[in-house]
Amino acid sequence: MTNILYRILVVDDEASMRDVLSIMLQREGYQVDVASDGAKAVGCLQEHAYDLVISDVQMPRMDGLQLLAHLRERAPETVVIMITAFSTTEQAVDAMKQGAYDYITKPFKNEEIRLVVKNALERRVLRQENQQLKKELEKRYSFAGLIGKSKLMRQVYSLVEKVAASRVNVLVTGESGTGKELVARAIHYQGDRKDKPFVPINCGAIPENLLESELFGHERGAFTGAIQQKQGLFEAASGGTLFLDEIGELPMMMQVKLLRVLQEHEIRRVGGTKNIPVDVRLIAATNKELTQEVAAGRFREDLFYRLHVIPVHLPPLRERREDIPLLIDHFLTQSSTPSAQVTEGALRRLLDYDWPGNVRELENIIERCLVLGNGSEVAEQCLPQQILSPAKSYCAGVVELPEQGFSLDDYLGEIEKEVLLRAVDKAQGTRKKAAEILGITFRSIRYRLAKYGLAEEDGEDEDDM
Protein backbone atom coordinates (compact mmCIF):
# COMPACT_ATOMS: atom_id res chain seq x y z
CA MET A 1 0.00 0.00 0.00
CA THR A 2 1.50 3.35 -1.00
CA ASN A 3 1.40 6.40 1.26
CA ILE A 4 -0.48 8.46 -1.32
CA LEU A 5 -3.57 6.52 -0.30
CA TYR A 6 -3.42 8.18 3.14
CA ARG A 7 -4.86 11.66 3.65
CA ILE A 8 -3.49 13.78 6.52
CA LEU A 9 -4.75 17.08 7.94
CA VAL A 10 -2.22 19.36 9.66
CA VAL A 11 -3.75 21.92 12.06
CA ASP A 12 -1.53 24.65 13.55
CA ASP A 13 -1.84 28.41 13.95
CA GLU A 14 1.85 28.88 13.04
CA ALA A 15 2.29 29.09 9.25
CA SER A 16 5.92 27.95 9.47
CA MET A 17 4.90 24.79 11.36
CA ARG A 18 2.18 24.02 8.82
CA ASP A 19 4.64 24.45 5.97
CA VAL A 20 7.36 22.27 7.56
CA LEU A 21 4.97 19.41 8.31
CA SER A 22 3.19 19.67 4.97
CA ILE A 23 6.40 19.57 2.93
CA MET A 24 7.93 16.73 4.97
CA LEU A 25 4.78 14.55 4.81
CA GLN A 26 4.26 15.17 1.11
CA ARG A 27 7.83 14.02 0.50
CA GLU A 28 6.89 10.82 2.31
CA GLY A 29 4.11 10.34 -0.22
CA TYR A 30 1.11 11.39 1.86
CA GLN A 31 -1.71 13.63 0.63
CA VAL A 32 -1.72 16.63 2.98
CA ASP A 33 -4.18 19.44 3.73
CA VAL A 34 -3.61 22.25 6.25
CA ALA A 35 -5.77 24.42 8.53
CA SER A 36 -4.78 27.38 10.70
CA ASP A 37 -7.08 26.51 13.64
CA GLY A 38 -9.64 24.01 14.88
CA ALA A 39 -12.62 25.81 13.40
CA LYS A 40 -11.12 25.72 9.89
CA ALA A 41 -10.17 22.10 10.45
CA VAL A 42 -13.85 21.28 11.08
CA GLY A 43 -14.62 22.76 7.68
CA CYS A 44 -11.99 20.51 6.09
CA LEU A 45 -13.48 17.50 7.87
CA GLN A 46 -16.87 18.26 6.35
CA GLU A 47 -15.36 18.07 2.87
CA HIS A 48 -12.94 15.13 3.24
CA ALA A 49 -12.37 12.01 5.32
CA TYR A 50 -8.91 11.93 6.89
CA ASP A 51 -6.87 8.95 8.02
CA LEU A 52 -4.80 11.11 10.36
CA VAL A 53 -5.00 14.55 11.96
CA ILE A 54 -1.91 16.26 13.41
CA SER A 55 -3.03 19.15 15.61
CA ASP A 56 -1.42 21.72 17.86
CA VAL A 57 -2.91 21.89 21.36
CA GLN A 58 -3.06 25.65 21.81
CA MET A 59 -4.83 27.52 19.00
CA PRO A 60 -7.32 30.42 18.75
CA ARG A 61 -11.09 29.94 18.15
CA MET A 62 -11.04 26.18 18.68
CA ASP A 63 -8.08 24.54 20.42
CA GLY A 64 -6.72 21.05 19.89
CA LEU A 65 -8.71 19.44 22.71
CA GLN A 66 -11.98 20.83 21.34
CA LEU A 67 -11.04 19.58 17.88
CA LEU A 68 -10.23 16.16 19.36
CA ALA A 69 -13.67 16.00 20.99
CA HIS A 70 -15.27 16.87 17.64
CA LEU A 71 -13.29 14.12 15.90
CA ARG A 72 -14.16 11.49 18.51
CA GLU A 73 -17.84 12.26 17.96
CA ARG A 74 -17.93 12.76 14.18
CA ALA A 75 -14.97 10.72 12.88
CA PRO A 76 -13.95 8.17 15.53
CA GLU A 77 -11.85 6.15 13.07
CA THR A 78 -9.51 9.09 12.40
CA VAL A 79 -6.20 8.85 14.28
CA VAL A 80 -5.13 12.02 16.13
CA ILE A 81 -1.58 13.11 17.05
CA MET A 82 -1.15 16.21 19.23
CA ILE A 83 1.76 18.67 18.99
CA THR A 84 2.60 20.59 22.14
CA ALA A 85 5.18 22.92 23.58
CA PHE A 86 7.00 21.61 26.66
CA SER A 87 4.94 23.87 28.94
CA THR A 88 1.64 22.30 27.80
CA THR A 89 2.67 18.64 28.00
CA GLU A 90 0.05 18.04 30.69
CA GLN A 91 -2.67 19.05 28.19
CA ALA A 92 -1.28 16.59 25.66
CA VAL A 93 -1.47 13.78 28.24
CA ASP A 94 -5.10 14.76 28.86
CA ALA A 95 -5.65 14.54 25.11
CA MET A 96 -4.36 10.96 25.07
CA LYS A 97 -6.78 10.09 27.86
CA GLN A 98 -9.54 11.49 25.64
CA GLY A 99 -8.55 9.34 22.67
CA ALA A 100 -5.50 10.87 20.97
CA TYR A 101 -3.00 8.29 19.68
CA ASP A 102 0.18 10.11 20.76
CA TYR A 103 1.74 13.53 21.25
CA ILE A 104 4.99 15.16 20.11
CA THR A 105 6.79 17.92 22.00
CA LYS A 106 8.24 20.95 20.22
CA PRO A 107 10.94 21.18 19.07
CA PHE A 108 10.94 17.78 17.40
CA LYS A 109 13.03 15.92 14.85
CA ASN A 110 11.61 15.10 11.44
CA GLU A 111 12.47 11.44 11.91
CA GLU A 112 10.40 11.41 15.10
CA ILE A 113 7.36 12.73 13.20
CA ARG A 114 7.84 10.20 10.40
CA LEU A 115 8.00 7.28 12.83
CA VAL A 116 4.98 8.35 14.90
CA VAL A 117 2.89 8.94 11.75
CA LYS A 118 3.92 5.58 10.28
CA ASN A 119 3.06 3.71 13.48
CA ALA A 120 -0.25 5.55 13.90
CA LEU A 121 -1.38 4.69 10.36
CA GLU A 122 -0.30 1.07 10.76
CA ARG A 123 -2.35 0.86 13.94
CA ARG A 124 -5.36 2.30 12.10
CA VAL A 125 -5.02 -0.36 9.39
CA LEU A 126 -4.77 -3.11 12.02
CA ARG A 127 -7.88 -1.81 13.78
CA GLN A 128 -9.80 -1.72 10.50
CA GLU A 129 -8.64 -5.25 9.66
CA ASN A 130 -9.72 -6.49 13.11
CA GLN A 131 -13.15 -4.92 12.69
CA GLN A 132 -13.46 -6.46 9.22
CA LEU A 133 -12.42 -9.83 10.63
CA LYS A 134 -15.06 -9.51 13.34
CA LYS A 135 -17.69 -8.78 10.70
CA GLU A 136 -16.59 -11.75 8.60
CA LEU A 137 -16.66 -14.06 11.63
CA GLU A 138 -20.07 -12.75 12.60
CA LYS A 139 -21.34 -13.33 9.07
CA ARG A 140 -19.82 -16.81 9.02
CA TYR A 141 -21.30 -17.83 12.35
CA SER A 142 -24.64 -16.06 12.12
CA PHE A 143 -27.90 -16.65 10.34
CA ALA A 144 -30.41 -13.84 9.78
CA GLY A 145 -29.56 -12.12 13.08
CA LEU A 146 -28.93 -15.31 15.08
CA ILE A 147 -25.36 -15.69 16.35
CA GLY A 148 -23.57 -18.94 17.11
CA LYS A 149 -21.33 -21.68 15.74
CA SER A 150 -22.21 -24.42 18.23
CA LYS A 151 -23.67 -27.71 17.04
CA LEU A 152 -27.03 -26.85 18.63
CA MET A 153 -27.23 -23.51 16.79
CA ARG A 154 -26.18 -25.06 13.47
CA GLN A 155 -29.09 -27.47 13.90
CA VAL A 156 -31.40 -24.48 14.43
CA TYR A 157 -30.07 -22.79 11.25
CA SER A 158 -30.62 -25.96 9.24
CA LEU A 159 -34.19 -26.32 10.48
CA VAL A 160 -34.97 -22.64 9.86
CA GLU A 161 -33.76 -22.95 6.26
CA LYS A 162 -35.99 -25.96 5.69
CA VAL A 163 -39.17 -24.52 7.24
CA ALA A 164 -38.68 -21.09 5.62
CA ALA A 165 -39.32 -22.61 2.21
CA SER A 166 -42.69 -24.02 3.33
CA ARG A 167 -45.89 -22.38 4.58
CA VAL A 168 -46.63 -24.65 7.53
CA ASN A 169 -47.23 -23.30 11.03
CA VAL A 170 -44.18 -23.25 13.30
CA LEU A 171 -43.91 -23.34 17.10
CA VAL A 172 -40.69 -21.83 18.49
CA THR A 173 -39.87 -22.95 22.03
CA GLY A 174 -37.16 -21.93 24.45
CA GLU A 175 -36.49 -20.09 27.67
CA SER A 176 -36.99 -16.33 27.97
CA GLY A 177 -34.19 -14.38 26.35
CA THR A 178 -33.02 -17.07 23.92
CA GLY A 179 -34.11 -15.14 20.80
CA LYS A 180 -37.39 -16.72 19.76
CA GLU A 181 -38.54 -13.64 17.83
CA LEU A 182 -35.23 -13.63 15.93
CA VAL A 183 -35.99 -17.19 14.81
CA ALA A 184 -39.48 -16.13 13.70
CA ARG A 185 -38.04 -13.22 11.72
CA ALA A 186 -35.39 -15.50 10.18
CA ILE A 187 -38.09 -17.91 9.00
CA HIS A 188 -40.12 -15.04 7.53
CA TYR A 189 -37.26 -13.23 5.76
CA GLN A 190 -35.71 -16.43 4.40
CA GLY A 191 -39.02 -17.48 2.81
CA ASP A 192 -41.11 -16.34 -0.14
CA ARG A 193 -43.12 -13.97 2.09
CA LYS A 194 -40.11 -11.78 2.90
CA ASP A 195 -41.53 -8.84 0.90
CA LYS A 196 -44.80 -8.99 2.84
CA PRO A 197 -45.46 -7.79 6.42
CA PHE A 198 -44.01 -9.45 9.51
CA VAL A 199 -46.39 -8.56 12.35
CA PRO A 200 -45.46 -9.51 15.94
CA ILE A 201 -47.74 -9.45 18.98
CA ASN A 202 -47.13 -10.50 22.58
CA CYS A 203 -50.22 -12.38 23.72
CA GLY A 204 -49.36 -11.86 27.38
CA ALA A 205 -48.93 -8.09 27.12
CA ILE A 206 -52.47 -7.20 25.95
CA PRO A 207 -55.50 -7.26 28.28
CA GLU A 208 -57.91 -10.10 27.53
CA ASN A 209 -60.78 -7.73 26.72
CA LEU A 210 -58.70 -6.00 24.03
CA LEU A 211 -56.97 -9.02 22.53
CA GLU A 212 -59.79 -10.05 20.19
CA SER A 213 -60.02 -6.55 18.75
CA GLU A 214 -56.22 -6.42 18.30
CA LEU A 215 -56.15 -9.71 16.40
CA PHE A 216 -59.36 -9.53 14.38
CA GLY A 217 -60.23 -5.81 14.34
CA HIS A 218 -63.64 -4.31 15.06
CA GLU A 219 -66.51 -2.48 13.39
CA ARG A 220 -67.56 1.02 14.31
CA GLY A 221 -69.83 0.99 17.36
CA ALA A 222 -68.94 -2.60 18.29
CA PHE A 223 -68.27 -1.48 21.87
CA THR A 224 -67.84 1.71 23.87
CA GLY A 225 -64.94 3.65 22.38
CA ALA A 226 -65.11 1.96 18.96
CA ILE A 227 -65.64 5.24 17.12
CA GLN A 228 -64.40 3.91 13.79
CA GLN A 229 -63.68 0.65 11.99
CA LYS A 230 -60.31 -0.89 12.84
CA GLN A 231 -58.28 -3.45 10.93
CA GLY A 232 -56.88 -6.29 13.06
CA LEU A 233 -53.40 -7.78 12.98
CA PHE A 234 -54.50 -10.78 10.94
CA GLU A 235 -55.60 -8.44 8.17
CA ALA A 236 -52.46 -6.32 8.57
CA ALA A 237 -50.32 -9.45 8.15
CA SER A 238 -52.27 -10.84 5.19
CA GLY A 239 -49.84 -12.25 2.65
CA GLY A 240 -47.08 -12.26 5.28
CA THR A 241 -46.42 -13.66 8.74
CA LEU A 242 -48.16 -13.15 12.09
CA PHE A 243 -45.91 -13.91 15.07
CA LEU A 244 -47.80 -14.75 18.26
CA ASP A 245 -45.28 -14.51 21.08
CA GLU A 246 -46.09 -16.06 24.48
CA ILE A 247 -48.88 -18.13 22.93
CA GLY A 248 -49.19 -20.01 26.22
CA GLU A 249 -50.74 -16.89 27.77
CA LEU A 250 -53.65 -16.88 25.30
CA PRO A 251 -57.02 -17.04 27.15
CA MET A 252 -59.13 -20.16 26.52
CA MET A 253 -61.86 -18.26 24.64
CA MET A 254 -59.27 -16.74 22.30
CA GLN A 255 -57.76 -20.19 21.77
CA VAL A 256 -61.12 -21.33 20.40
CA LYS A 257 -61.31 -18.37 18.00
CA LEU A 258 -57.70 -18.76 16.89
CA LEU A 259 -58.31 -22.44 16.15
CA ARG A 260 -61.24 -21.50 13.91
CA VAL A 261 -59.08 -19.02 11.98
CA LEU A 262 -56.43 -21.68 11.41
CA GLN A 263 -59.06 -24.10 10.16
CA GLU A 264 -61.12 -21.72 7.99
CA HIS A 265 -58.45 -19.14 6.97
CA GLU A 266 -60.88 -16.30 7.64
CA ILE A 267 -61.63 -13.89 10.47
CA ARG A 268 -64.63 -11.89 11.63
CA ARG A 269 -64.19 -8.45 13.17
CA VAL A 270 -65.68 -7.75 16.58
CA GLY A 271 -69.22 -6.51 15.93
CA GLY A 272 -69.04 -7.63 12.30
CA THR A 273 -71.34 -10.00 10.40
CA LYS A 274 -69.22 -11.09 7.47
CA ASN A 275 -66.17 -13.31 7.26
CA ILE A 276 -62.98 -11.88 5.79
CA PRO A 277 -60.51 -14.29 4.13
CA VAL A 278 -56.88 -13.95 5.27
CA ASP A 279 -53.68 -15.48 3.92
CA VAL A 280 -51.36 -15.53 6.92
CA ARG A 281 -48.51 -17.77 7.93
CA LEU A 282 -48.59 -18.25 11.70
CA ILE A 283 -45.48 -18.59 13.84
CA ALA A 284 -46.04 -18.96 17.58
CA ALA A 285 -43.55 -18.95 20.44
CA THR A 286 -43.62 -19.90 24.09
CA ASN A 287 -41.31 -20.41 27.06
CA LYS A 288 -43.82 -22.82 28.60
CA GLU A 289 -44.08 -26.57 28.21
CA LEU A 290 -47.32 -26.61 26.20
CA THR A 291 -47.71 -30.38 26.61
CA GLN A 292 -47.94 -29.78 30.37
CA GLU A 293 -50.38 -26.91 29.79
CA VAL A 294 -52.52 -29.25 27.66
CA ALA A 295 -52.43 -31.94 30.36
CA ALA A 296 -53.45 -29.35 32.96
CA GLY A 297 -56.39 -28.21 30.79
CA ARG A 298 -55.02 -24.69 30.30
CA PHE A 299 -54.29 -25.08 26.59
CA ARG A 300 -56.44 -26.75 23.94
CA GLU A 301 -54.97 -29.96 22.59
CA ASP A 302 -56.40 -29.41 19.10
CA LEU A 303 -54.85 -25.94 18.92
CA PHE A 304 -51.53 -27.29 20.16
CA TYR A 305 -51.35 -29.78 17.27
CA ARG A 306 -52.35 -27.06 14.78
CA LEU A 307 -49.42 -24.92 15.97
CA HIS A 308 -46.96 -27.74 16.56
CA VAL A 309 -46.63 -28.77 12.91
CA ILE A 310 -42.88 -28.06 12.97
CA PRO A 311 -41.27 -27.29 16.34
CA VAL A 312 -38.05 -25.27 16.52
CA HIS A 313 -36.33 -25.35 19.92
CA LEU A 314 -33.79 -22.69 20.90
CA PRO A 315 -31.21 -23.99 23.40
CA PRO A 316 -30.44 -21.96 26.52
CA LEU A 317 -27.12 -20.12 26.53
CA ARG A 318 -25.66 -22.36 29.25
CA GLU A 319 -25.89 -25.29 26.79
CA ARG A 320 -23.90 -23.47 24.08
CA ARG A 321 -21.17 -21.67 26.00
CA GLU A 322 -18.82 -21.75 22.99
CA ASP A 323 -21.10 -19.12 21.42
CA ILE A 324 -20.58 -16.61 24.24
CA PRO A 325 -17.38 -15.00 22.78
CA LEU A 326 -19.11 -14.60 19.39
CA LEU A 327 -22.14 -13.00 21.03
CA ILE A 328 -19.92 -10.63 23.03
CA ASP A 329 -18.08 -9.56 19.85
CA HIS A 330 -21.45 -9.02 18.16
CA PHE A 331 -22.77 -6.82 20.98
CA LEU A 332 -19.53 -4.83 21.12
CA THR A 333 -19.60 -4.30 17.35
CA GLN A 334 -23.18 -3.04 17.61
CA SER A 335 -22.33 -0.68 20.49
CA SER A 336 -21.22 2.95 20.35
CA THR A 337 -17.64 1.77 21.06
CA PRO A 338 -17.10 -1.08 18.56
CA SER A 339 -13.35 -1.19 19.25
CA ALA A 340 -13.92 -2.11 22.93
CA GLN A 341 -12.37 -5.35 24.16
CA VAL A 342 -13.29 -7.89 26.85
CA THR A 343 -10.54 -8.66 29.36
CA GLU A 344 -9.39 -12.25 29.88
CA GLY A 345 -10.65 -12.27 33.46
CA ALA A 346 -14.07 -10.94 32.52
CA LEU A 347 -14.42 -13.47 29.69
CA ARG A 348 -13.59 -16.30 32.09
CA ARG A 349 -16.32 -15.10 34.47
CA LEU A 350 -18.83 -14.79 31.64
CA LEU A 351 -18.07 -18.29 30.39
CA ASP A 352 -18.53 -19.77 33.88
CA TYR A 353 -21.92 -18.11 34.54
CA ASP A 354 -25.14 -20.10 33.96
CA TRP A 355 -27.15 -17.28 32.26
CA PRO A 356 -30.72 -17.73 33.56
CA GLY A 357 -31.68 -14.73 31.39
CA ASN A 358 -29.88 -16.18 28.36
CA VAL A 359 -28.74 -14.02 25.43
CA ARG A 360 -30.82 -11.03 26.52
CA GLU A 361 -29.09 -11.04 29.92
CA LEU A 362 -25.66 -11.22 28.26
CA GLU A 363 -26.50 -8.26 26.04
CA ASN A 364 -27.67 -6.20 29.02
CA ILE A 365 -24.50 -6.99 30.99
CA ILE A 366 -22.21 -6.00 28.11
CA GLU A 367 -24.12 -2.73 27.79
CA ARG A 368 -23.85 -2.20 31.57
CA CYS A 369 -20.07 -2.75 31.49
CA LEU A 370 -19.56 -0.25 28.68
CA VAL A 371 -21.57 2.36 30.60
CA LEU A 372 -19.99 1.77 34.03
CA GLY A 373 -16.47 1.26 32.70
CA ASN A 374 -14.34 3.55 30.59
CA GLY A 375 -16.06 2.46 27.36
CA SER A 376 -12.95 0.81 25.97
CA GLU A 377 -13.22 -2.58 27.66
CA VAL A 378 -15.44 -5.02 29.49
CA ALA A 379 -13.60 -5.64 32.74
CA GLU A 380 -14.26 -7.85 35.79
CA GLN A 381 -14.95 -4.94 38.14
CA CYS A 382 -17.90 -3.86 35.98
CA LEU A 383 -19.64 -7.24 36.14
CA PRO A 384 -22.68 -7.60 38.43
CA GLN A 385 -22.46 -9.42 41.74
CA GLN A 386 -24.25 -12.58 40.61
CA ILE A 387 -21.44 -13.21 38.12
CA LEU A 388 -18.52 -12.23 40.37
CA SER A 389 -19.84 -14.24 43.35
CA PRO A 390 -22.31 -16.84 42.10
CA ALA A 391 -24.22 -18.08 45.13
CA LYS A 392 -25.04 -21.71 45.65
CA SER A 393 -28.75 -22.25 45.05
CA TYR A 394 -30.28 -22.73 48.47
CA CYS A 395 -33.77 -22.52 47.06
CA ALA A 396 -33.58 -25.66 44.97
CA GLY A 397 -34.82 -28.05 47.64
CA VAL A 398 -34.71 -29.17 51.23
CA VAL A 399 -31.21 -29.47 52.67
CA GLU A 400 -29.97 -32.93 53.66
CA LEU A 401 -29.42 -32.80 57.41
CA PRO A 402 -25.94 -33.89 58.52
CA GLU A 403 -25.57 -36.33 61.42
CA GLN A 404 -23.84 -33.76 63.60
CA GLY A 405 -26.52 -31.13 62.90
CA PHE A 406 -26.02 -27.63 61.52
CA SER A 407 -26.90 -23.95 62.12
CA LEU A 408 -30.43 -23.24 60.96
CA ASP A 409 -29.90 -19.49 61.35
CA ASP A 410 -26.84 -19.56 59.06
CA TYR A 411 -28.69 -21.69 56.51
CA LEU A 412 -31.74 -19.42 56.46
CA GLY A 413 -29.45 -16.41 56.30
CA GLU A 414 -27.81 -17.76 53.15
CA ILE A 415 -31.22 -18.31 51.59
CA GLU A 416 -32.31 -14.77 52.47
CA LYS A 417 -29.07 -13.30 51.11
CA GLU A 418 -29.42 -15.12 47.79
CA VAL A 419 -33.07 -14.12 47.40
CA LEU A 420 -32.17 -10.48 48.12
CA LEU A 421 -29.40 -10.57 45.50
CA ARG A 422 -31.72 -12.07 42.91
CA ALA A 423 -34.43 -9.51 43.60
CA VAL A 424 -32.04 -6.53 43.40
CA ASP A 425 -30.58 -7.89 40.16
CA LYS A 426 -34.04 -8.42 38.69
CA ALA A 427 -34.92 -4.85 39.68
CA GLN A 428 -31.71 -3.64 37.95
CA GLY A 429 -30.35 -2.29 41.24
CA THR A 430 -33.46 -0.34 42.29
CA ARG A 431 -34.17 -1.23 45.94
CA LYS A 432 -37.73 0.08 45.87
CA LYS A 433 -38.63 -2.23 42.99
CA ALA A 434 -36.77 -5.13 44.62
CA ALA A 435 -38.84 -4.58 47.78
CA GLU A 436 -42.03 -4.68 45.70
CA ILE A 437 -40.90 -7.95 44.09
CA LEU A 438 -40.39 -9.50 47.53
CA GLY A 439 -43.54 -8.00 49.04
CA ILE A 440 -41.69 -6.13 51.78
CA THR A 441 -41.26 -2.46 52.64
CA PHE A 442 -38.40 -0.28 51.45
CA ARG A 443 -37.27 0.14 55.07
CA SER A 444 -37.18 -3.66 55.45
CA ILE A 445 -35.11 -4.35 52.34
CA ARG A 446 -32.68 -1.58 53.26
CA TYR A 447 -32.21 -3.15 56.69
CA ARG A 448 -31.80 -6.67 55.27
CA LEU A 449 -29.27 -5.58 52.65
CA ALA A 450 -27.26 -3.73 55.27
CA LYS A 451 -27.31 -6.83 57.51
CA TYR A 452 -25.41 -8.79 54.85
CA GLY A 453 -23.17 -5.91 53.80
CA LEU A 454 -25.02 -5.55 50.50
CA ALA A 455 -26.34 -2.00 50.94
CA GLU A 456 -25.26 0.55 48.35
CA GLU A 457 -26.16 4.20 48.01
CA ASP A 458 -28.38 4.51 44.95
CA GLY A 459 -30.03 7.84 45.60
CA GLU A 460 -33.32 6.37 46.76
CA ASP A 461 -35.00 8.13 49.65
CA GLU A 462 -37.68 6.44 51.71
CA ASP A 463 -39.64 9.70 51.85
CA ASP A 464 -39.91 9.56 48.06
CA MET A 465 -41.20 6.00 47.97
Domains of the chain: 3-129 (3.40.50.2300), 146-315 (3.40.50.300), 318-388 (1.10.8.60), 408-464 (1.10.10.60)
How far apart, in whole angstroms, are the C-alpha atoms of residue 426 and residue 162?
Answer: 37
Q: Is the dihedral of CA 156, 150, 377, 422 positive or negative?
A: positive
* Helix intervals (H) in 265-397: 290-295, 301-307, 324-334, 344-352, 358-372, 385-388
Q: Which helix (H) or strand (E) holds 286?
A: strand 281-286
Provide DSSP, 154-212: HHHHHHHHHHHTS---EEEE--TTS-HHHHHHHHHHHSTTTTS-EEEEETTSS-HHHHH
pLDDT the model gives residue 232: 92
Residues in the chain: 465
* Helix intervals (H) in 180-323: 180-190, 208-216, 233-236, 252-264, 290-295, 301-307
Q: In sequence order, what are the residues at sequence separation of 6 or more whose Cβ sits closer than 8 angstroms to the Cβ of residue 410?
A: none
How far apart, in whole angstroms, are the C-alpha atoms of residue 139 and residue 160?
Answer: 17
pLDDT the model gives residue 89: 66
**Which residue type sits at 204?**
G
Report whether 278 contacts 265 (CB < 8 A). Answer: yes
How far apart, in whole angstroms, are the C-alpha atoms of residue 269 and residue 215?
Answer: 9
346: nearest Cα among 390, 318, 387, 376: 387
pLDDT the model gives residue 376: 76
Provide DSSP, 139-151: HHTEETTEE--SH
64: nearest Cα among 99, 112, 21: 99
* Chain center to CA of 397: 34
What value, to the nearest 5°, has the Cα angle with vertex 220 and ends 214 and 222? 70
327: nearest Cα among 101, 80, 138: 138
Buried-state track 192-220, b at ≥16 Cβ within 10 A, e below 16: ebeebebbbbebeeeeeeebbbbbbbbbe
112: nearest Cα among 71, 80, 81: 81
- β-bridge mates for residue 265, sequence order: none
Question: CB 48: neighbour CB atoms within 10 A?
Answer: 10
pLDDT the model gives residue 465: 42
Report whether 359 contacts 327 (CB < 8 A). Answer: yes
What value, to the nearest 5°, has the Cα angle with vertex 396 and ends 394 and 398? 80
pLDDT the model gives residue 217: 92
Strands 341-342 and 377-378: parallel
pTM of the model: 0.58
Helices (H), strands (E): how many in the chain? 19, 18
Report whether 186 contacts 144 (CB < 8 A). Answer: yes
How far apart, in whole angstroms, are the C-alpha atoms of residue 72 and residue 67?
Answer: 9
pLDDT the model gives residue 460: 56
- State the burial class of residue 454 (Cβ atoms within 10 Å of its Cβ: 0-12, 13-18, 19+): middle
- State the burial class of residue 170 (Cβ atoms within 10 Å of its Cβ: 0-12, 13-18, 19+): buried
What are 105-127's pLDDT values in tens digits?
888 888 989 999 999 998 888 88
Task: Show pLDDT as tens, one digit a residue, over the chain (465 residues).
Answer: 456 679 999 999 999 999 999 999 999 999 999 999 999 999 999 999 999 999 998 898 898 899 999 998 888 889 999 988 765 667 777 888 888 988 888 888 889 899 999 999 988 888 887 777 656 654 555 566 788 989 999 999 999 999 998 889 999 999 999 999 999 999 999 899 988 999 999 998 888 888 999 999 999 888 888 888 889 999 999 999 999 999 999 999 999 999 999 999 999 999 999 999 999 999 999 999 999 999 999 999 999 999 999 999 999 999 999 999 999 998 998 888 877 889 999 999 999 999 999 999 999 999 988 888 777 789 988 898 889 876 544 444 444 556 666 677 777 887 888 888 888 878 877 888 888 888 888 888 888 888 877 765 445 555 444
